[in-house]
């Protein structure tokens, strides 16, 4: 899928950034042996996923049919590359 824009959307960037901050908070409080802070960080991680899904529902994510063009092109490329060696073997 090298030409697709998978994940390069405002919804993906925002969700991942919030989740990353949550992991950092959880990690810091885990080292400090503070369970309440650790779980607060885990809530932030889940919040990142929720924010990403809400933003995707608002239209800021990748459309569902965005990969159809790339999948069709990949099937065509695989068909032509496998057909040529077969013809050369005959």
Domain extents in the chain: 10-65
Is the per-residue pLDDT at 23 higher than 50? yes
CA–CA distance, 51 with 37 (Å, rounded to integer): 21
| Confidence (pLDDT) at 44 | 97
Rounded to the nearest integer, the mean pLDDT of the chain is: 81
8-32 exposure pattern, b = at least 16 Cβ within 10 A, e = fewer: ebebbebbeebbeebeebbeebeee
The model's pLDDT over 1-12, given as tens digits with 9 standing for 90+, comes to: 455 556 688 888
CA–CA distance, 57 with 73 (Å, rounded to integer): 27
Mean pLDDT of 56-76: 73
| Confidence (pLDDT) at 1 | 47
**Are the CB atoms for 26 and 48 separated by under 8 Å?**
no
Q: Which residue has the tokens 């030409």?
A: 3
């Amino acid at each position: 899928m090298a030409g697709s824009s998978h994940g390069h959307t405002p919804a993906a960037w925002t969700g991942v950034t919030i989740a990353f901050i949550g992991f950092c908070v959880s990690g810091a409080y885990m080292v400090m042996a503070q369970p309440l802070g650790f779980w607060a960080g885990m809530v932030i991680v889940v919040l990142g996923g929720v924010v990403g899904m809400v933003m995707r529902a608002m239209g800021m994510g990748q459309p569902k049919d965005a990969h159809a063009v790339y999948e069709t092109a990949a099937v065509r490329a695989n068909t032509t590359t496998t057909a040529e060696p077969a013809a050369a073997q005959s």
